[in-house]
Amino acid sequence: MSPGPARGRVAGSDAGGPRRGPVRRWQLVRAGSDAVPPSTRRFMARARQRRMRAALPWAVAGGVLAVAGLVAWTVLGTGLFGVREVRVVGADLVTPVEVRDAAAVPDGVPLARVDLAATARRIGALPPVERVTVTRDWPGTLVVTVVERTGAAVVPRDGRYAVIDGSGVPFRMVDGVPDGLPVVRVDAPGPDDPGTRAALEVLAALTPQLRAELTELTVAGLARISLSLRGDRTVVWGDATRSPDKARVATALLGRKADTIDVSAPDVVTFR
């Protein structure tokens, strides 16, 4: 009887060689796309789409902010849209040079950075300017629209005449009396002067006939207002109260032969 294989030996191995166990070899193999189940691939695709949809608004917002920042820097921080011209509209009593000097806007300053309200205030400080608006005309023009004061009367001052508007503001000096403007004699012409305000109130109440005869209005006191008419006639007005009634009565009496007509009490008129 032949002996069987020795215990602990591997059948078929060299009885005289070293003992060996089972040989195992491991190898990393990349699975092909077919190895991933379709359901898993669909889940992964949907996950990628969700991530892209979530990131899209942030990407769009970032792009918009970048473009807005570039535009703001171009408009506010560079001279590309700087002031190249100050265009003056409506100026007659003041020259465009005076308006530009009062505006004090340097050439090349970014148009968007010009303080329109402050510029308008500086220009409005010019005496002949009643109101002013300042606007931007892109890419590089500042438009100044001026409305000048309208003369209502002239006041003799040091051999010349100060022209005042309907609110009593003196805004220019002239050598002679302009056509159509009455002469008003007050001590301190100005919008805050009671005598000036009283004189303007009386002028506003005059009828066209009385206005055509007027040569001078004198305010010697708030209750001592008088009109000098053509032909060396005088109308004693008194104060500025009831001026429309006084104007109507004085107009009706223009044909009377009298050097002085006293309408200070319009219900009781006297002649001299």
- 144-164 pLDDT, tens digit per residue, is 999 999 999 999 999 999 999
Q: What is the pLDDT of residues 30-48, one digit of tens each?
A: 555 556 677 776 767 777 7
pLDDT at 69: 53
Residue from 118, 155, 156, 110 nearest 134 by CA: 118
Q: Structure pTM? A: 0.69
Question: 259: exposed, middle or buried (C-beta count within 10 Å: 0-12, 13-18, 19+)?
Answer: exposed
- Of 230, 226, 222, nearest to 262 (Cα)? 226
User: Do 164 and 177 touch, CB atoms closer than 8 A?
Assistant: no
Length of the chain: 272
Convert the pLDDT of each residue in 122-134 to its tens digit: 999 999 999 999 9
Cβ 210 vs Cβ 250: under 8 Å: yes
Sequence-distant (≥ 6) Cβ neighbours of residue 82 within 8 angstroms: 107, 108, 109, 110, 111, 140
